[in-house]
A and B are shown apart, each in its own frame.
Chain A
Amino acid sequence: MPILLRCHKGIGPAVIGGALVAADNFSASYDLDRVRGIFSRPTHKLAGESFVARILVLDNAKGGVATAWMLHEMAARAIVPRALIFNRVNPILAQGAAFGNVALVDRFDGDVTQLFRTGDELRVDPAGGTVEILNRDH
């Protein structure tokens, strides 16, 4: 029986993919090598990890406005996360997800970096405000 978690209504299409989780924050311009598709900031907990087609589960959105354009540019090259799950985002990440048509949800009951684990298979439904963990039941 999949685990169903509820959140605030989100942005973007419904998607399925594998979770990549860290108790860290996120900015596309600060943290990513957008050409190679990896986390490039040496101090980020996901440094060296590929973000391509992964569902990123992180704490907060931080810093720079550039992310608002960058998700669209990354989506055009298919070097982009499949979805974004956060505890709470700032306007930039929401604006970027809306413009780039990238799935984004936030505002769960509980800390998303504890609710989800790397390797979880997730179904993200922004319109319904739900995320299902498909490959475990506890």
Chain B
Amino acid sequence: MRLSDEERAMLAGEFGEVRRWAIAHQVGVGEFFDAADFVAVSQAHIMADTESLGEAGVRFLERLAAAPENERRARVPTITDPQGIDFAIYRRLGQSDWMAALERRAINALRAFGVLMTDTCINYQTTMAPVRGDHVAYGDTGVVIYSNSLLGARSNFEGGPSALGAALTGRTPRYGYHLEQCRCGTRRFRLKETPRDFSEWGAVGGIVGEACGSYWQVPLIEGVEAIPGADDLKHLGTAMASFGSVALFHMPGITPDAAVLAASSAEPTGIGREDIDAFVARYAAAGDKLDVVVFGAPQLSLFEIERVAQALDGRQVHPDTTVLVTTSPEIKHAADRMGLTQRIEAAGAVVAQGICFYQSYAREMAEANGWTRLMTNSAKLVNIIGGYGYRPSLASLKRCVDSAIAGRVI
């Protein structure tokens, strides 16, 4: 990689050991992807829940955090993805005190870098959305695909160590979706049916993601007749990223980048009613006893929380079923203030802040609570959670709530 004088000095340790580690890590990754140089970033977003970090990762952060302040402060505004614990309710969810203790250590270390603990995977809906052409270092696949596709920002998937590196150096290796030539569409799809709800937008994302199957594919989705809502596209993108590792899509007339196809303009792959139904049917479990319903992954917007409240008004969740709603601390505060939390919890559901379920010791929660059958309207979550020992079912918000009331999958 071609390095500036400042970058060479950083690599030589002239800015301290913390920044030396950061840029050495970034150079290693950049050379792997043939990056020519670095690009300055305006924000970093770090995924640093303790389920992923483990004791080893927390010790690593604590070691860096012990450096002198001028050597460890982030150079750009830096925020966090969901954490592993909501301290107000973790015991109620079957999480343990050791998990909370580890989480506190991670938070203390991150604060030492000047990181703002936003604990959210919907920062584009709650914190500070990037603008078109903005180079950022975001650490959540759903955040990256939304920011790249809907907002026209430039980011790769930046895992925790690399996002921390970007925070400490103020830059990231210029490869992948920082380069215009990587942002052209590579594969066409045509939507023949408008999805009816978030679970179906997620299903379309899953279908496109599986068909692409690679970070380096950029789907171009045609045939979208009505302008989808931001939450619709949030579910579409997070599922696409989860099922296919896709980081950018184009939707002509809706997304801001010119939807240029890189290669031949082969006939698009059609996605119709039968494809969406078949995708949802993969997770069918009608009649099964229902252990837990999760609204999360990604965290809910204020409008989504209002929909959950409306669906639960005047009803009671079955005593053998847990309903968990996850959102960012800012949205939780708004939901408290507007009475939405009270309406949801009056029905027996739980509203959690700053977590996103699967990053929250999901396997241990299943074991502690005896949970197996999980229901959600998040296609992303059904894709992830099978590996944690759950049997997931995908359905609309309404059917999830109806099932939670009945205590079995409807």
Binding site for B on A (CB under 8 A): 8-11, 25, 29-33, 40-44, 59-70, 72-73, 75-77, 88-92, 94-96, 98-99
Contacts and interface: CB of A to CB of B under 8 A. Distances in A.
Given A11-B32, A98-B29, A63 B384 contact: yes
A45 to B, nearest CB: 13
Contacts of B243: 62-63
A65 B158 contact: yes
Interface in B227-262: 241-245, 247
26 contacts: A29-B387, A30-B384, A40-B387, A43-B386, A61-B245, A62-B244, A63-B141, A64-B141, A65-B140, A65-B160, A66-B49, A66-B52, A67-B159, A69-B48, A69-B52, A69-B53, A72-B60, A76-B54, A77-B56, A90-B214, A90-B215, A91-B33, A91-B162, A92-B157, A94-B32, A99-B159
A41 B245 contact: no
B25 interface: yes
B52 A73 contact: yes
Contact of A95 (B140, B161, B215, B383): B161
B57 A60 contact: no
Nearest to B380: A63
Contact of A63 (B32, B60, B241): B241
Interface of B: 25, 28-29, 31-33, 47-49, 51-57, 60, 81, 139-141, 156-162, 176, 213-216, 241-245, 247, 358-359, 363, 383-384, 386-389
Contacts of B157: 65, 90-92
A129 to B, nearest CB: 11
Contacts of B81: 65
Interface of A is mostly: mixed
Nearest to A93: B159
Contacts, number: 140
A77 B60 CA distance: 14
A53 B29 CA distance: 23
A62 B32 CA distance: 18
Report which residue of B51, B159, B160 has the largest number of chain A beta carbons within 10 angstroms of its beta carbon. Answer: B159
A66 B99 CA distance: 17
B141 A60 contact: no
A30 B387 contact: yes
Nearest to A63: B242
Contacts of B32: 8-11, 94, 98
Contacts of A77: 54, 56
B160 A69 contact: yes
A43 B245 CA distance: 17
A50 B139 CA distance: 29
B389 to A, nearest CB: 7
A33 B157 CA distance: 23
Nearest to B389: A40
Nearest to A69: B52
B245 A76 contact: no
Given A30-B387, A41-B386, A68-B52, 18 more contacts: A10-B32, A31-B387, A60-B214, A62-B242, A62-B245, A65-B158, A66-B159, A69-B53, A70-B54, A73-B53, A77-B56, A88-B215, A89-B215, A90-B157, A90-B215, A90-B245, A91-B29, A91-B162
